[in-house]
Amino acid sequence: MMGKVYLVGAGPGDPGLITVKGLRCIQEADVILYDRLVNKELLSYAKTDCDLIYCGKLPNYHFMKQETINSFLVKHAQKGKVVTRLKGGDPFVFGRGGEEAETLARSRIPFEVIPGITSGIAAPAYAGIPVTHRNIASSYAVVTGHRKKGKEDELKWGSLANGIDTLAIYMGVGNLGYICKQLTKNGKSKETPVALVQWGSLENQRTVTGTLDTIEEIVINEHIENPSMIIVGEVVRLRSELKWFEQLNDERSKLADVREAL
């Protein structure tokens, strides 16, 4: 009897942001293949006899090659297993979910895609930055800041610089200088606000802001690394007023101090 594969988006990190359907897929799975940025707290909802397989990827280092992951999905489903492929963010937003779905379709494996909250929306939201705003930004684009090895830059920088109000750039910390240079070279003002949100939605979230002209130096000085989202656009200016998550953490910290004192 053929099994089934669920390609599930686990959200940006906060385990409370998993969807109801995504959580059910974790609870019912016989096998879970999970990525590095999936919050391990979500795995506690798996069955005690569930087979947990780590498929994590670091920049420039893959614990498990994509071809191996694809073959595992097929192999376990062909054994009649319920397989949950648990991916950070959304499986179809720079998550290689499309490649995995193609493999399953070619192998005639039944599958479903369970969307997740992508970091390009969640990280700025937790930093107090709305990616759209009626008075400031009516367009929003998600962009990869990391090129496939050996592949030329195919991004249309002119269109991104002049035609989009807010850019959410994934996996771009290592190429930040190049990204800023391309945007300004193609017409974006050097004074355009930029934010980097590291570990978005988690308690150790950090956010730095600057402009296209200054952000690279700020990131170096503040030791901001991956995983981080880069947000470019006027909406970044709203952070000073809307940074609710830091205020919430400050309140929790003060409350903890009071309880400790008592």
Instruction: Convert the pLDDT of each residue in 183-238 to its tens digit.
Output: 999 999 999 999 999 999 999 999 999 999 999 999 999 999 999 999 999 999 99
Q: Is 49 a catalytic residue?
A: no
Predicted local confidence at residue 258, as pLDDT: 60
**3-state secondary structure (DSSP) of residue 69:** helix
Question: Residues 141, 92: one domain?
Answer: no
Query: CA–CA separation, 249 vs 262, rounded Å?
Result: 20
Question: Residues 85, 166: one domain?
Answer: no
Predicted local confidence at residue 249, as pLDDT: 78
Q: Is the peptide bond before 115 cis (omega within 30 degrees of 0)?
A: no
Q: Taking 60 as the threshold, does the pLDDT of residue 72 lie above it? A: yes
Question: Residues 240, 131: one domain?
Answer: yes
Predicted local confidence at residue 158, as pLDDT: 95
Question: Average pLDDT over the chain, rounded to whole?
Answer: 93
Whether the model clears a pTM of 0.75, i.e. scores above it, the answer is: yes
Say which residue the tokens 């929306």 belong to.
121
Range of the domain at 143: 120-245
Predicted local confidence at residue 61, as pLDDT: 57
Question: Residues 16, 105: one domain?
Answer: yes
CATH of the domain at 142: 3.30.950.10
Question: Residues 113, 124: one domain?
Answer: no
Q: Is 1 a catalytic residue?
A: no
Give residue-wise pLDDT tens across range 11-61.
Answer: 999 999 999 999 999 999 999 999 999 999 999 999 999 999 999 876 665
The C-alpha angle 121, 115, 249, rounded to 5 degrees, equals 40
Question: Residues 107, 212: one domain?
Answer: no
Q: What band does 247 get if pLDDT is binned at 50, 70 and 90? A: confident
Give residue-wise pLDDT tens across range 150-167.
Answer: 566 778 999 999 999 999
Which residue is catalytic, options 51, 57, 64, 213?
57
Q: How many domains does the chain have?
A: 2
**Percentage of the chain surpassing pLDDT 70?**
92
Predicted local confidence at residue 178, as pLDDT: 96
CATH of the domain at 113: 3.40.1010.10
Mean per-residue pLDDT for 59-82?
Answer: 89
Closest among 162, 106, 168 to 131, alpha carbons compared: 168
Predicted local confidence at residue 153, as pLDDT: 77
Which residue is catalytic, options 4, 14, 171, 188?
171
Question: Residues 81, 126: one domain?
Answer: no
Strands (E), 46-126: 51-54, 57-58, 61-62, 82-87, 111-114
Mean per-residue pLDDT for 73-79?
Answer: 98
- Domain stop point among 82, 117, 152: 117
CB-count burial class (<10 Å; 0-12, 13-18, 19+) for 147: middle
Q: Is residue 253 part of a domain?
A: no
Question: Residues 113, 129: one domain?
Answer: no
Predicted local confidence at residue 149, as pLDDT: 61
Mean per-residue pLDDT for 118-130?
Answer: 98
Q: Is 57 a catalytic residue?
A: yes
Query: Do you know the residue count of the chain?
Result: 262
Q: What band does 146 get if pLDDT is binned at 50, 70 and 90? A: confident
Q: Is residue 256 part of a domain?
A: no
Predicted local confidence at residue 140, as pLDDT: 97
Which residue is catalytic, options 4, 14, 30, 35?
35
Predicted local confidence at residue 227, as pLDDT: 95
Name the helix (H) or strand (E) containing 250.
helix 244-261
